[in-house]
Structure 1
Amino acid sequence: MGVGTALAETWVRRWERQQERYAVDREERFTVIADVVEWVTRGQPAPLVVDLGSGPGSLARRIAARLPRARILAVDVDPLLLELGRTHAPEAARYVEVLIGEDGWLAELELELDGPVDAVVSTTALHYPEPGRLREIYRELAAVLRPGGVLVNGDHLAPADPGLAVLSAAVGRAREQRQGTGGGEDWARWWAEVRQVPEFAELLAARELRPAPASGDGNGLSVREHEELLREAGFREVGTVWRCGDSCVLVALR
């Protein structure tokens, strides 16, 4: 029993609403990431963009709409989310199932089919690997990015100083209250409802067999610690280009 276009569209739409519970500024953050990619790839006839932890292609679709000339790889470990993206927006990206950071993961992307990488983007995925493995992931990404290429990470990353971390979290909560977030379907409810859909049974069974990223809040690294790991990995310039509360867009130039 396959996943039809209408079914995929319904569940992608529900995914988008569910994710907005956890990032009121999600759309603005996506826009800033696309701004960075557009600037860094200006003049490139067909830039190659790799979206790590793509889910059903939320960011990939937005970058494809902004940069129709771009070639995008959407990378995720979850076969259900990838199939939703592949069915809902097959033209937006080439969808690849692999766990970021597992042995040989970059080879699975078959980057030689597409050429040098111009940009790597990610949202709320790179806070999972433990610090030592994340350093290696950053090194691997630095090695495949062209000189002048960019890594763009949109995530909730706290400042290193404890007082500022508390303050940034408070600012973020205040903004959420002003925006009126918190209603509707949450992560647990979305997945509970997904498990009731017969067309998803085979994909859910495959999902159970895949290695999963670490659960919980992740590695707990501050934005400064991410910056240090990126510099150690060989990126020449690192810093944030946008922040609201503890939500930020961190950029590393190769």
Structure 2
Amino acid sequence: MGLSLATAQRWVERWELQQQRYAVDREERFTVIADVVEHVTAGTPRPLVVDLGCGPGSLAARLVRRLPGAQVVAVDRDPLLLELGRTHHPDAARYVDAEIGAPGWTWALDLDRPLDAAVSTTALHYLDRDTLLRVYRQLATLLRPGGVLVNGDHLPQDDTGPARIAAHVGRCRADRQRVFAQEDWGSWWTAVADDPEMADLLAERRCRTAPRGTGRSAELPLSTHLSLLRQAGFDTAGPVWQYGDSCVVVAVRYRALSSGSG
């Protein structure tokens, strides 16, 4: 099921464009995440980072460009996106095929030491509340004291904030950047299905449980994420960057926690 470099490059470039539709100021969000990781790992020669829901390695590639000594473990459940990452960004990460939140997923990471950081972008919003709390607890046990979870995602405000206005501000920014001129998620996958070189990977993807989409109906608000992070053992948690509903949330744990199973 190996891909040619040219094919991987073509599809990753199209992926980067369509993903701009789903993250306001996506590139700035990546930069902020790298800012945080660089800050908390200063003086660490080979920081260990896990990239949750890595897709084709977009965030991992940017992290290693910023932190060349970093060891990134990139995890996703989608075999097609993982193969794009392995082919197009082979040196960015060690790619792991596992479903975040499924039984044993943390063991699949095969970590040899505590994490310095866990990062994610536009990947955790599909988890339900109970699964998200469990994942946050697992990550808290995997991180070293002082380690951070950095999550960039679409996190709406709750009823106490101007949710509709925040969403409107984000849409206006996206309109100014003309991101909606790019193909969307569904169009990208439709086009992939017409590429013969992707047929085996697409068949493998279809054999698995129904892949997640980009639906927004079940998204938990920012306040719920912060509450769950504190319940999970993180000492502090809050947004460090926000534009409309697009947020980068940082959670830090200082206390030593007992290790949990995957």
- For Structure 1 versus Structure 2, the TM-score category normalised by the shorter chain is over 0.9
2:205 to 192, 202, 207: 207
Structure 1 residue aligned with 2:260: none
Structure 1 residue aligned with 2:120: 122
Structure 2 residue aligned with 1:252: 251
Structure 1 residue aligned with 2:181: 183
Q: Deviation at 1:85?
A: 0.6
SS of corresponding position for 1:251 = strand
Comparing 48-57 and 209-218, the one that deviates more? 209-218
Matched, 1:159 2:182: no
Contact 1:52 1:120 in 2 (8 A): yes
Q: Deviation at 1:220?
A: 2.0
Q: Deviation at 1:218?
A: 5.5
Q: Deviation at 1:158?
A: 1.1
Comparing 65-74 and 192-201, the one that deviates more? 192-201
Give the letter for the 2:158 counterpart.
A
Runs (4 or more) in structure 1 with deviation over 4 Å come to 212-215
1:137 to 132, 135, 138: 135
Aligned residues between the structures: 252
Q: Deviation at 1:184?
A: 2.5
Deviations 1:179-204 (A, max 9, x none): 22211311111101101111111111
Deviations 1:133-173 (A, max 9, x none): 11011000000000000000000101123551111001111
Contact 1:77 1:97 in 2 (8 A): yes
Structure 2 residue aligned with 1:21: 21
Give the letter for the 2:224 counterpart.
E
> TM-score with structure 2 length normalisation?
0.93
Structure 1 residue aligned with 2:238: 239
C-alpha distance in 2 between matches for 1:249 and 1:163: 17
Deviations 1:92-126 (A, max 9, x none): 100011110001100111112xx210000001111
Contact 2:23 2:153 in 1 (8 A): no
C-alpha distance in 2 between matches for 1:93 and 1:176: 30
Residues 242/163 of structure 1: CA separation in 2 closer, same or farther (3 Å cut)? closer
Name stretches of at least 5 consecutive residues in structure 1 with no aligned partner.
Answer: none
Structure 2 residue aligned with 1:194: 192
Structure 1 residue aligned with 2:84: 84
C-alpha distance in 2 between matches for 1:247 and 1:66: 22
Comparing 59-68 and 201-210, the one that deviates more? 201-210
Structure 2 residue aligned with 1:220: 219
Give the letter for the 2:133 counterpart.
R
Deviations 1:49-102 (A, max 9, x none): 100010000000000100000000111000010100100111110001111000
Structure 1 residue aligned with 2:257: none
Residues 250/154 of structure 1: CA separation in 2 closer, same or farther (3 Å cut)? same
> TM-score with structure 1 length normalisation?
0.96
Give the letter for the 1:68 counterpart.
P
Name stretches of at least 5 consecutive residues in structure 2 with no aligned partner.
Answer: 254-262
Contact 2:78 2:211 in 1 (8 A): no
Q: Deviation at 1:212?
A: 4.5
Matched, 1:68 2:68: yes
Give the letter for the 1:252 counterpart.
A
Contact 2:82 2:95 in 1 (8 A): yes
Contact 2:79 2:201 in 1 (8 A): yes
